[in-house]
Amino acid sequence: MENWCLVFEDEFDSLDQTVWEPSVAPNGITYRTDRQENVRVENGLLIMELHKEDYEGYAYTGADIASVDYYQYGKIECRAKLPTANRAWPAFWMLGSYDEYGEWPNCGEIDILEYWGYNAPDVYTNIHTRNSNWKNGRNREKHSTSVSLPDATEQFHIYGLEWYRDRLEFYIDGSHYWTFDKFSDNWRKWPFDHPMRIVFQMFAAPDYEGSDAELPDQFEVDYVRVYKACQ
């Protein structure tokens, strides 16, 4: 078992914009804002809130924040509680630096936690690369998995990634549920050899056709932590 040393943590006593960069721009059907209505800290929790409202020509407002710093290899985890609204699309993920291979999907994406309210109680883990991503749909069954977690909207759980040079291991509450092994040295299939930043999001799911009566709703994050292997 790896011996981990803590190198970064945020307990969300405040939303420090020297640490987190909010987006102010549309994404899909959601307009991301940095307003208190959409992203704030309350009682030691990061609150990301999805609203049904007309804003800048969009029908929904939400938020995402990305870490200013980038990390490479180690253990990354957050403790979070998920929203109940069917329209909600929260996620906790890693996005690669554009410096090495270029913009998405070349840079790589690791979705440690991805959730669509209309697919409850399943929580998802997804890998995106130039070779396989949600746009091209190639070989997605080997780049994605899900776990049934019936109390994810009622209880906080710890969602974690252990990122090694040759594999990605995924955990919920310390229990391992999936490993994605490096199967090629080609960067198009394995771009996970360069730094990545942490992203939290709360968007409106574009594929849901039902009622929005449950909105607004919240994605709550208690903390995020990053560890490196101790020498």
User: Active-site residues: which are they?
Assistant: 109, 114
Between CA 106 and CA 102 the distance in angstroms is 6
Q: Is 12 helix (H, G, I), strand (E, B) or coil?
A: coil
Residues 6+ apart with CB under 8 A from 204: 28, 29, 30, 50, 52, 59, 60, 62, 87, 88, 89
Token pair recorded at residue 173: 């509450």
Residues 6+ apart with CB under 8 A from 149: 121, 122, 123, 157, 172
Between CA 31 and CA 203 the distance in angstroms is 8
Token pair recorded at residue 187: 């960067």
**Diameter of the chain measured on Cα atoms:** 53
- What one-character-per-residue DSSP string does 142-186 give? GSEEEEE-TTTTTS-EEEEEEE-SSEEEEEETTEEEEEEE---S-
